[in-house]
Amino acid sequence: MRYQSARMDQIPPYMFAELGKKKAAMIKSGIDVIDLGIGDPDLPTPAHIVDKLVEEARKPENLRYPQFSGHPVFRKAVAEFYKREYGIELDPETEVLALIGSKEGLSHLVPVMIDPGEIVLVPDPCYPPYRMAALLAGGKYHDMPMVKENGFLPDFEEIPENVLEKARLMFLNYPGNPTAAVVDGPFFQNAVDFAKDKGIIIAHDSAYNKVAFSGYKPPSILEARGAKDVAVEFGSLSKTYCMTGWRIGYVVGNRDVIKALAVFKSNTDTGVFTPIQLAGAHAILSDQTCVDTHNDIYFARMKGMIEALQEIGIEVEPPKASFFIWAPVPAGYSSTGFAEAVLEQAGVIVTPGSAFGPSGEGYFRISLSVPNARLDEAIGRIKRKIKI
Ligand SMILES: Cc1ncc(COP(=O)(O)O)c(C=O)c1O
């Protein structure tokens, strides 16, 4: 008897699901594990957003099937966000689609865009679902290596011609996970021009678009000239408003791509619970002080952790955005070897860079989405216990 397809045979268990099992086993055996692995904000969703959810959940008309492409109020709020933040006009009806979190949408975009045998270009290292979605769609992925010397940007000129012939979709992600790298407008312009020239659609993942510090403002790819011809941009309420568990995100941009994704989704899912969409719209449109407050907290945590890493001899540039630190492993260690040493010696989970792709080897990622007291404890343990 066959219990899964050949496509599924290629898919490993999701890295963070596996890490979660390992962590649970360690905790069961009495070890006080501090998890700096997954990027799941510990800060609570601001009360005004929760209150709105409760208010909307009390209305019977909001408890029925949601509208397939998203509630008009939510789609309009996303369009207003783009106008407010970037001065970009979006038609809420045709250029905005609600998603069950951005992970759902960016994974489902892949079978919408590629046929079996075709190629998805992915940054290396990257958020793992980009690659898995390509395999699940019967396609392939091509890693675009990103190195420190190049600011963790892909070099489009390095993509071989035979790969470009079969490439239909390219993922980009800035501010980047796991590298915390950022870009400026000219990078996106170059990407859009390249994609137009080669007939490739760009999916820009902007999950960390509002997690930024020191006056840095991440740009939108839609600010680039002609972007709407070839690009869509994924956004999420997960990180900005500490709403990871709510499952709400959106995609904006090219209307043909959005239309095709909407057709796919209406055949496979039935959208986001309406009160969540209305609370999400409220989050986007109401006072944004909470976003700055969250960023101040992440920035303070970042400073503390970077100092601790420096004390044990690991040099890291302070990131301008995201709540990740992407740091080189000490000489003589592999990524997994160092992550194991940190777990064994300090009881702290960090993610080995190689989990994000071959170019992640030689690095590890720390997520700062744990309460201050736990982070201080982790910092103390790293300083005391890690021997390099
Ligand atoms: C780069 C990146 N994109 C997308 C997501 C998924 O976010 P969401 O909660 O909107 O599905 C994450 C979550 O960690 C992420 O790191």
Mean pLDDT along residues 246-268: 98
Distance CA 71, CA 265 (A): 15
In this prediction, residue 13 carries a pLDDT of: 80
In this prediction, residue 38 carries a pLDDT of: 85
- 39, pLDDT greater than 90: no
Q: How far is the CA of 236 from the centre of ligand 1 (A)?
A: 7
Q: How far is the CA of 2 from the centre of ligand 1 (A)?
A: 32
Distance CA 134, CA 127 (A): 13
pTM above 0.75, yes or no: yes
Q: How far is the CA of 181 from the centre of ligand 1 (A)?
A: 16
Contact criterion met (CB below 8 Å) for 209 and 220 = yes
- Candidate of 97, 103, 366 to mutate for ligand 1, largest count of ligand atoms within 8 Å of Cβ: 103
Give ∠ CA 65-74-98 in degrees, rounded to 5.
65
Report helix angle 289-311 to 372-385, nearest 10. 10
Mean pLDDT along residues 358-365: 97
In this prediction, residue 128 carries a pLDDT of: 95
96-99 and 249-253 as β-strands: parallel, antiparallel, unpaired?
antiparallel
- 16, pLDDT greater than 80: no
Tell me, what amino acid is at 337?
A: G
Q: Copy the structure tokens of residue 173.
A: 């992600």
Strand, helix or coil for residue 381: helix
Give me the phi and psi of 3, to 5 degrees please.
-105, -5
Give ∠ CA 382-298-36 in degrees, rounded to 5.
40
Contact criterion met (CB below 8 Å) for 327 and 300 = no
- 388, pLDDT greater than 80: no
Mean pLDDT along residues 291-295: 96
In this prediction, residue 23 carries a pLDDT of: 83
DSSP 387: -
Distance CA 121, CA 171 (A): 6
Mean pLDDT along residues 79-87: 98
Residues with CB under 6 A from ligand 1: 39, 101-103, 127, 173, 177, 205, 207, 236, 238, 244, 249
- Candidate of 183, 206, 233, 236 to mutate for ligand 1, largest count of ligand atoms within 8 Å of Cβ: 236
Distance CA 195, CA 202 (A): 7
The protein residue whose alpha carbon is closest to atom 14 in ligand 1 is 39
At 232, the pLDDT band (50, 70, 90 cuts) reads very high
Q: How far is the CA of 295 from the centre of ligand 1 (A)?
A: 17
